[in-house]
Amino acid sequence: MLTEEQIKKLISANESLQVQLADANAILAAREQEIDFLSAELAESTALRSKLDGQLDEIESIRNRLGEKQQAAKGAEEREIGLQHELTEMALLNRQYSELMQDYAYLQSQFKEMQARYLDLQQRSLQLEQAASRIGELESLLENSLQERDSLKERLRILQDSNFLKEI
């Protein structure tokens, strides 16, 4: 068996070991608390990381949609510019059409006026032809009348001469 001194040494060593064990248990408990805290932190960090990844995916999706919207807006802007060009061209064509219609109306008025003048000239020409024909007839009648007058004068002179001679 053990001597009292050995027992005292063993008890002292046991107490020392129990203090060390208590210290080790306290350190272990502190480490377990730290592990639990770190595990909770890791879980929270993992959750945050997952949430961040989800938000990054959402941001990327928003960026893609924003890019699509920008492309659509650019396309709409180009279509708007195209439509503005078409409207400008339509306004120009409308103005040209209006001017052409005014010119057409003016030319149509001028044509009607010229047509009326032409008909008037035709009428005058016909009247002149009729007058010329009548003048020709009258000149012919006058010529015939003059010839007949001259012939009658000549006959009258001949008759007068022959009467004159008879009287003498």
Q: Which position has the token pair 């009467």?
A: 163
- pLDDT value for 58: 94
Structure tokens at 44: 């929270």
Could you report the per-residue pLDDT of 16-48, keeping only the tens digit for each?
888 988 989 999 899 999 999 889 988 999 999
Could you report the per-residue pLDDT of 73-91, keeping only the tens digit for each?
999 999 999 999 999 999 9
- pLDDT value for 164: 62
Greater confidence, 164 or 57?
57
Q: Which position has the token pair 């120009």?
A: 92
The one-letter amino acid code at 110 reads Q
- pLDDT value for 9: 86
Query: DSSP letters along 46-90, please?
Result: HHHHHHHHHHHHHHHHHHHHHHHHHHHHHHHHHHHHHHHHHHHHH
Q: Say how far apart CA 163 and CA 106 lie, in whole Å.
A: 81
Q: What percent of the chain has pLDDT over 90?
A: 65
Could you report the per-residue pLDDT of 135-148, keeping only the tens digit for each?
999 899 999 999 99
Could you report the per-residue pLDDT of 105-160, keeping only the tens digit for each?
999 999 999 999 999 999 999 999 999 999 999 899 999 999 999 998 898 888 88
- pLDDT value for 3: 84
Q: Say how far apart CA 40 and CA 118 lie, in whole Å.
A: 112
Query: DSSP letters along 6-35, please?
Result: HHHHHHHHHHHHHHHHHHHHHHHHHHHHHH
Q: With 60 as the cut, is the pLDDT of residue 6 above it?
A: yes
Please give the mean pLDDT across all residues of the chain.
90
Is pTM beyond 0.75? Reply is no
Q: With 60 as the cut, is the pLDDT of residue 168 above it?
A: no
- Among the listed residues 56, 37, 36, 62, the one whose alpha carbon sits nearest the alpha carbon of residue 48: 56
Burial letters 50-83, b for 16+ CB under 10 A, else e:
eeeeeeeeeeeeeeeeeeeeeeeeeeeeeeeeee
Greater confidence, 161 or 59?
59
The one-letter amino acid code at 20 reads Q
Structure tokens at 127: 């009247």
Q: Say how far apart CA 127 and CA 157 lie, in whole Å.
A: 43
pLDDT band at 161 (very low <50, low <70, confident <90, very high): confident
